[in-house]
Amino acid sequence: MNIRFFNANIVPFRNADAEVILGELWVSDDKIVLVGEPSGAPLSWDREIDCRGNLLLPGFKNAHTHSAMTFLRSFADDKPLLDWLNEDVFPLEKFLTGDDIYTLTTLAIMEYVSGGTTAAFDMYYQPDYVTRSAIDTGFRMVLCGSINDFGGTKETLRDEFEKYNKLHPLISQVLGFHAEYTTSKALIKDVSDLAHELCAPVFTHNSETRQEVEGCKERYGMSPTKFLDSLGMFDFGGGGFHCVHFTDEDTQIFKSRGLYAVTNCGSNVKLASGIPPVEKWYRDGVKVAIGTDGPASNNCLDFFREMFLVTGLQKLEHGAASTDANLVLHSACSVGADAMGLSECNSLECGKQADLIMIDMHRPNMQPVNNMTKNVVYSGSKENVALTMIRGNVVYENGRFVTIDDPEEIYRKSNAIIARIRRASGR
């Protein structure tokens, strides 16, 4: 299809500059073919969209999540991380079927696209069902390997890497394991060996709690970051999720290795894990991406709330002038894409994938228009997402899920899943 967006304010994010340009954006099939002032012969349009001055952005990239954990939303609450995991999450997850994961992932995707997220970096098991949900709904999904002592080997991780990087244009996979504290040194070394074999980056949960860091120091005499680096884990890049309790040495390793620190402020606040040193990362040149973590710990998949927390929490510690909103918006739209290996989706430029969102500026919270981009971070909300496009296809528009026939059926199935699991588990 050929789609023309006109009368648009556009933030291309060709770099970290949040410059707003007025003009048009043309899409042909899955690619952007023009941004700015029209030039050359117009295409034969299948659709023309008058943006009426609304804002076009690259979609938000959720750089860390566990989508199918929607079934535990507002169920496993008000506990510290390890109690939450061991008492609520792990015991109930064992009751999930593949079909459950398909439905629960679809529910998460509905939340993603209605909130302006066009891609997610998902760490969960039974990935066949995760990918089928993404393909069926037209959503871009990057899988992160999640092997640990409870399941998975170097061989299964390699097989998944090869399988899912060939499966479908919307699907890809990055090497990963759950965390240092759930994974033996031998298995971690296997992951590092595989990273060297494939010349591939690796991601994992890293330094989410003080207890995690102290445990690693007791086992190996080093922080998780230094320990993993000592095994050559990051010789080909990658990064960590959370990264709350970082030392200056950890930050330096991330900077020198070109690693991505994926912050998850909503989850870290709710689980009282702490406030990550995001301002220091920006200042020292560490690449910062943003994720929501899973909907059992956040409990929502809302990037507007996440962006506000990223900058707001830093201001509490470093002053009101710290962590500029435009830096945070760039992290949300572009740096997260790079972390996920989606360089073709990190900006609105000719030849890039047509993954974009339209922010409705004709809402009370967006007026007056003093600064469009900072409005998105400081006063924006999911109500402002008028349209979400992925790979040239509109998947959400004006409250309607274009690729999902019956949203109420997804809600019904999701409630039936948790009801069944509660009965089976005696909860």
Residue 411 pLDDT more than 80? yes
Which residue bears the tokens 């991505």? 260
**CA nearest 210: which of 276, 278, 288, 123?**
276
- Percent of the chain at pLDDT > 90 equals 95
pLDDT digits (tens, 9 = 90+) for 112-142: 999 999 999 999 999 999 999 999 999 999 9
Superfamily, domain 2-58+347-401: Urease, subunit C, domain 1 (2.30.40.10)
Which residue bears the tokens 């710290």? 322
Domain ranges in the chain?
2-58+347-401
The DSSP element (H or E) to which 6 belongs, if any, is: strand 2-10
Confidence of residue 343 (pLDDT cuts 50, 70, 90): very high
- Percent of the chain at pLDDT > 70 equals 100
Token couple for 149: 């002592």
pLDDT at 17: 93
pLDDT at 251: 98
pLDDT digits (tens, 9 = 90+) for 200-229: 999 999 999 999 999 999 999 999 999 999
Token couple for 5: 């967006």
Average pLDDT over residues 341-356: 98
Confidence of residue 40 (pLDDT cuts 50, 70, 90): confident
Token couple for 71: 């079934």
Residue 87 DSSP code: I
Contacts of 373 (CB under 8 A, 6+ apart): 11, 18, 20, 55, 325, 326, 329
pLDDT digits (tens, 9 = 90+) for 225-273: 999 999 999 999 999 999 999 999 999 999 999 999 999 999 999 999 9
In the three-class reduction of DSSP (H, G, I as helix; E, B as strand; rest coil), residue 157 is classed as helix
Burial string for 126-165 (b: 16+ CB within 10 Å, else e) reads bbebbbbbbeebbbbbbbbbbbbeeebebeebbebbeebe
Confidence of residue 427 (pLDDT cuts 50, 70, 90): confident
Confidence of residue 54 (pLDDT cuts 50, 70, 90): very high
pLDDT at 123: 98
pLDDT at 311: 98
CA 392/CA 28 separation, integer angstroms: 7
CA distances from 418 to 79, 134, 179, 353, 376 (A): 20, 21, 27, 37, 34
Residue 76 pLDDT more than 80? no
CA 93/CA 175 separation, integer angstroms: 22
